[in-house]
Chains A and B, each alone.
Chain A
Amino acid sequence: MPTKDDEPLDLLQGTLDLLILRTLIFGPQHGHGISLAIQQTSDAELLVEHGALYPALQRLEHRGWIAGKWGTSANNRRARFYALTPAGRKQLVRETTKWRRLARAIGRVLDTGPTEG
């Protein structure tokens, strides 16, 4: 479990979208699976609020980046599985690049101090 001053980070909306797309690159997954995957791959740094996940999925599906279909889970439960569409794949590449640039820029600003910039 995380310690007190190392609480999980809240996710900004745009970021959650990016993470969902990223998770789906390994194949179709249902909502529960996606939340677990994000939590695990981020070493429990990022906590996905389950209640926020589904509207986000809905939004992405609406934009045509993912496609949802009812299916059966590994332990034989009915669940809605989401798959990345070609448009979603492109969006993921775009968002990833953008995010990396932003992160780099912020990192530089934070690292170099006030004399520069």
Chain B
Amino acid sequence: MLRGWRSDEDFRDEIESHLALEAERLERDEGLSASAARLAARRRFGSVSRARERFFESTRWLWWEQWRQDVRYGARMLRRAPGFTLVAALTIALGVGATTAIFSVVDAALLHPLPYPDADRLVSVEDDLRSVGASRVGMSQPEWLDLERSGIFDQISPAWYDENNLTGGLEPRRVRLMSVAPNYFAVLGVAPHPGRAFEPTNRAPGFTQEAVISHGLWQREFGGRRDVLDRSIRLDTDLYRIVGVMPADFVPPGRTLEERNVDVWAATSFYGPPMLDHPPRSGRNLPGAIGRVKAGLTLAEAQQRVDALVASLTRAYPGDYPDAAGWAIRLEPLKRTVVGDARQPLILLFAAVALVLLIASVNVANLLLARATTRARELALRQALGGGRLRLVRQLITEGVLLSALGGAVAAAILVASRGPLLHLIPSSVPRLTTVGAGWRVYAFSTVVTLAIGVVFGVVAALHVEPLGLMHVLKQQGRASTASRRQARTRRALVVAQFALSVTLMVAAGLLLRSIADLVRRPLGFAPGGVVTVRTRMPYPNDVSIDLYGTPAQKERFYRELLRRLDGLPGVARAALGDSAAIPLDRPARDLMLRPVVFERQGATTPPTLVERASVTPEYFDVLGMTRLRGRLFTDFDAASAPAVAVVNEAMARKFWPGEDPIGRRVKLTRTATAWTTIVGVVGDARTASIDDPHVPQIFSSLYQLGEKHIAVLVRSDVEAETIGDGVRAQIRAVDPTLPVFGTEPLAAIVTDALGQRRFAAEMLALFAATALLLAGIGIYGVMAYAVTERTPEIGVRLVLGASGASLVDGIVRDGMRLAAAGGAAGIALSLGAGQVLARSIAAVPAHDTETLFAVPVLLFAVALVACLVPARRALRVDLLAVIRHE
């Protein structure tokens, strides 16, 4: 209903009319003169201006004025109980702070991983071969052009991540290069500054010989100088001209940290040298593409149209798209592609931190309830004096919000101050780390959470304001003010809930830690200790005539010369070479390392299957300490000119030749290979491909025969990594001074990093669990301490009547432990469910673990026992005389 405000004037008229009526009455009934009657009427009315003031308050300013009163009053209440305020505010700060911190990561990495305009329309375009169970198999150039002409996308550009050698500076550098179509930046809707992007419609064969560089490379290699534009650089010995610099805050989309740290972009039409003039439809040498779906098309509609296109192409080119392959093109939201593996641990952490916040809030609610009891008389009195119940509830909510705002402010201050160190805790594989913590969404989230828990506090406290408070309090006048049963029950229930949640968190943390301990303890199958890895890379010039490493023989010469020199280095026990896949566990995006293998079966060939493949020199297995099971390993005679040979691991033998001897079987290691490769030996399984799974099928080829250009040097020595790194660098330079040397790292560190994200999740979870346990301990302490205070008279009387101290302590502790036991039992039940979820979402995590399930309750009871004993012992020190006098 709409009631308009009355005007001040209207109100004045009413008062005037009252004064006239009263004067008239006085004249008539008490015989006063007209003027005396008017005066008397005014006197009896009191202050007219005061009445108008009150009228004014009661209308427009009522709400504001009362609110200010509430705040003032609330602040006074908080100041009056500094201990309570401090504990409550710090508890809230802990909960809100931790939640905000994790939310800021979730916000940047999960919710807004793509800082581009209209990012919802960006997709990653992936080719799958469904019938052979292969995904992201790559796209061919004709397919890309078909998609471009399909009318489904505004823009679509392949994105081919590669390393490159940047030369011309002080020393050769390895840079991360993205080969893209000239319209790549238009797909994303971003532009270089300073400088310009590529000419989007340029479709000349080969590379455009223009380069756009990252802000980081500009600063590192060119000192951030403006004259970098139009400068010439050599990438893999080809000449390029720098035409643009991307802004500092631009992060390209990518599945891996490497792909998000691109240094240089080069544009190409993906045909013509160095690529094929007429790339075949079945070539699939483009890894994939990113596209911007046309406005007005939903993702599902776009996918439908892509499916239709695929169907018609399959019909048109049956030779390129055999039914047995099940070719399909999948549009994946680019957001999902970028977030990738970071998703699960972040969601897990967010759930955990939300639980911590819940527990912290329960603690504060408990404290507030205890106080509400002691304040029962004050509240009842205010109610009796005409303060409506609603007004009281509002007062309590104001106090709750004040308290939570205080905690929220403390949390914000701590977070702002410690942003840097906190960011270091997060593994660098999480996308968009640099933007974590900034932005209004994080502030809004934190504010909403803070206000919400404040309101909840107020409501919880208000629920316990008796509707007829005065009566209640008057009835209890004779005794010490006592909490109502309802309040006590609520507080005990809250403590039980706290313990249940803490147990759940602790069990989850225990399971994760357990899985890491297991992974660390289980044999790797290879020995990383004392092995140092160093990387180098041979250029792939677009102009093949200047390629010094074009033929297998040229590469072999380099490998053998380098190995000869490395063997002479002081401190080196054994040195081996391999391609980049040969470094164990060094795979940011594992599926990129899968390569197609064709098998010979009854004289025919199978469709290609993706298998882990590494190329290595004969010393490799010895350097890594892998064991030969059958046949032979590589020798120096397995050269480029000798018949091609391969070694498989046991898992590969079991999977592809079950019950048979793989030795003597033949495979093809590339799609284009004409000659067969014969399997000559089997090595034992090792966790080189995956730390979780020791039985990943792997095939090793001879580096001399396959001749890879991305080279890993693996050296076993007893000298420290840095010294070895310098020695290896010098030897590589001695063979070819134009090659970049990078990535010197002990293998042990790489193995540790492989556990990085999981370790981060486990450590954070453990931290949260410890916090939760501490909070739960404080919670049970609070309830028991309060119960003891409440029962002080009773305890006193019992002591006087000769009850033994021990039996009293026993009773109190028993009471507390009952709560802990109830919470523990509920928690165990909850954690069985949580364990299932964990085990499903993270590899190698057990769904339950007897030791954890045993250890957690023990820890819980220990904490609960301490928390109960302290107040129980205090009960024994009750001043008997004081108690009796009080009664």
Contacts and interface: CB of A to CB of B under 8 A. Distances in A.
Given A32-B22, A54-B11, A101-B471, A114 B55 contact: no
Contacts of A109: 474-475, 477
Given A50-B46, A54-B14, A62-B59, A102 B468 contact: yes
B18 A50 contact: yes
A79 interface: yes
Contacts of B1: 64
Interface in A1-40: 12-15, 17, 30-33, 36
Given A12-B386, A13-B385, A58-B59, A79 B21 contact: yes
B822 interface: no
Interface in A38-58: 49-52, 54-55, 58
B156 interface: no
Contacts of B24: 75, 77
Contacts of B478: 114, 117
Interface residues of B: mostly helix, strand, loop or mixed? Answer: helix
Interface string B45-56: 111101100110
Contact of B51 (A15, A33, A51): A51
B46 A117 contact: no
Contacts of B14: 31, 54, 79-80
A78 B475 CA distance: 50
A64 B45 contact: no
A105 B471 contact: yes
Interface in B39-84: 44-48, 50-51, 54-55, 57-59
Contact of B44 (A50, A79, A117): A50
Contacts of A75: 21, 24
A12 B20 contact: no
A59 interface: yes
B46 A58 contact: no
Nearest to B56: A55
Nearest to A47: B44
Contact of A14 (B20, B58, B386, B474): B386
Interface residues on B, range: 35 or more
Contact of A73 (B3, B13, B21, B55): B21
Contact of A31 (B18, B47, B385): B18
A105 B59 contact: no
A28 B22 CA distance: 18
Contacts of A58: 6, 11, 55, 58-59
Contacts of A55: 51, 54-55, 57-58
B17 interface: yes
Contacts of B597: none
Contacts of B17: 30, 32, 73, 77-80
Given A54-B55, A58-B6, A64-B3, A77 B21 contact: yes
Interface residues of A: mostly helix, strand, loop or mixed? Answer: helix
B45 A51 contact: yes
A51 B470 CA distance: 28
A54 B51 contact: yes
A30 B45 CA distance: 15
Residue of A58, A77, A106 with most chain B CB atoms under a 10 A cut-off: A58
Contacts of A73: 17, 21
A38 to B, nearest CB: 14
A90 interface: no
Interface residues on A, range: 35 or more
B480 to A, nearest CB: 14
Nearest to A75: B24
A6 to B, nearest CB: 20
Nearest to A115: B478
Contacts of A51: 45-48, 50-51, 54
B25 A12 contact: no
Interface in A59-117: 59, 61-62, 64, 73, 75, 77-80, 98, 101-102, 105-106, 109, 114, 117
Contact of B470 (A15, A49, A52, A102): A102
A49 B46 contact: yes
Nearest to A13: B386
A81 to B, nearest CB: 10
B86 interface: no
Given A102-B468, A105-B471, A106-B474, A62 B58 contact: yes
A112 to B, nearest CB: 12
B524 interface: no
Interface in B167-198: none
A106 B474 CA distance: 8
A87 to B, nearest CB: 10
Residue of B25, B385, B468, B471 with most chain A CB atoms under a 10 A cut-off: B471
Nearest to A102: B471
Nearest to A109: B474
Nearest to B385: A12
A17 B468 CA distance: 18
- 9 nearest CB pairs, A to B: A51-B46, A13-B386, A14-B386, A55-B54, A32-B21, A50-B45, A51-B51, A79-B17, A80-B14
Given A17-B386, A31-B14, A54-B54, 16 more contacts: A12-B385, A14-B386, A30-B21, A32-B18, A50-B18, A55-B54, A55-B58, A58-B11, A62-B3, A77-B21, A78-B13, A79-B18, A80-B14, A105-B474, A109-B477, A114-B478
13 contacts: A12-B385, A17-B386, A32-B22, A32-B25, A51-B47, A51-B51, A54-B15, A54-B18, A58-B6, A77-B20, A78-B13, A78-B17, A117-B477
